[in-house]
Structure 1
Amino acid sequence: MGKMLINGGKAIINVSVFPDFCPICNVGINPQFVSGSYCSTQQEVDALFVCPKVTCKKMFIATYRHETMKGVYYLKTLLPRTPKAVEIIPEVKDISPRFAEIFIQATQAEEYGLDEVAGVGYRKSLEYLIKDYCVAQHPDKEDDVKKRPVAQVIEGFVTNENIKQCAKRAIWLGNDETHYVRKWVDKDIKDLKLLIQITVSWIQQEVITKKLLKDMQ
């Protein structure tokens, strides 16, 4: 809890917290407060801060919303935001560059609060990952892999049981992100991301294992 001087020093408000990280450089900070302005129609306060880091020094706006019952303004958003960089495992990126590209975009959408769009993006990235992986495993079946629905590709071309079981369940949750009625009502986008990450990890292990065994005959 803290106090903030706004409207050119004419008013003092109680705020729940002050920002403790910069939404642009994504580093923990003690930001410099510049000024604040009250919007009566929305009962919100926009507060301007500056990141103190020498490598950033960017300004950002913290929006606070008033809770009448408590008389406190609660932090709502920090804008503009720069999504954190997402690292894609090199072995997987080599197999499916499009997966890496789409997954990163889906992560950025989620960072911006666009959960509905992000879910569809994660589902699309997963399909590219699975099909590109299967093409790499069965180059003579490339046309067949590309034409089939991804669920059939998993059943027909993925031989690694760990990859198959994780990918299958990731597709189930991914489909929920694109359909009107959800089948897995107790699961959400976090579970989808977790299954994708586990699938990626199993693929990486398989690729590295094959390479080491080949190099050490």
Structure 2
Amino acid sequence: MFPDNESFIKRTVNRSMVCPHCSEKMTPTLLSITPYNDNQKYVATLYCSDCKYPIVKLFAKVWFSDNVNEINLEYNKGIVVDLPKNIEKLSPDFVIKTNRGETDKVSKMLLKPVIEEYLKDNDKLYTMSLACAYLGNDYSHYERRNLDKDIQDLERFIAVLISYISYELTLHEANDFIQ
């Protein structure tokens, strides 16, 4: 049997809301309410009536009261990258244009050796690629080393790297055109 707070939670979750996944206004379908943490918290499992993705809501019992409050959860909607068309055309599968004959070799290498071996002749490309690799790697470990940089720095570095590659491709296209 669910706790007395079930009716409050049902009223809260069965109202119109914006789906954290598809951003559509909808009324979710309640699947379950599960108490945990000695009945001090409750997890409501729902799903979007539009996109059918699951939604989780968390509620905590208010001390010295029979009420519960919803605890806001953040959903990551995923990363949408708007790549320049020349990069999308060049590399839908991230194949290295200038070294296509070495795809098998490159695909088996670690990232840093690929950068060091194939990008060393272009200082700007080498620097930005290595900076992205270092900072991205830093976020894959439990203990970060580069505390003076954050995810916004990584996003900025990647944006500059993409812009630089697009610049180089456009420059090569212009060079081919005037030849």
TM-score by length of 1: 0.53
> Does the CA contact (< 8 Å) of 2:19 and 2:25 recur in 1?
yes
> Does the CA contact (< 8 Å) of 1:176 and 1:183 recur in 2?
yes
1:11 partner letter? S
**Mapped pair 1:210 → 2:172:** yes
- SS across alignment from 1:149: helix
Change (3 A) 1:174 1:12: closer
Query: Counterpart in 1 of 2:35?
Result: 40
Which residues of structure 1 form unaligned runs of 5+?
1-5, 100-127
> Matched residues in 2 for 1:177 and 1:60: separation?
27
Q: List aligned pairs for 1:1-217, cutoff 5 A.
A: 11-13=7-9, 19-23=17-21, 26=22, 28-35=23-30, 37-42=32-37, 43-51=41-49, 56=50, 58=52, 60-66=54-60, 68=62, 71-76=68-73, 83=78, 86-99=81-94, 132=96, 135=99, 146=106, 149-153=113-117, 156-159=120-123, 161=124, 163-177=125-139, 182-217=144-179
1:91 partner letter? N
Which residues of structure 2 form unaligned runs of 5+?
none
1:153 partner letter? E
User: Deviation of residue 12 (structure 1)?
Assistant: 1.6
Corresponding residue pairs, total: 164
> Matched residues in 2 for 1:196 and 1:203: separation?
11
Deviations 1:140-190 (A, max 9, x none): xx69x947813523662225x3x3332231122133245675331232444
User: Deviation of residue 62 (structure 1)?
Assistant: 3.3
Across the aligned residues of Structure 1 and Structure 2, the Cα RMSD in angstroms comes to 4.3
> Matched residues in 1 for 2:93 and 2:53: separation?
34
Structure number with greater Rg is 2
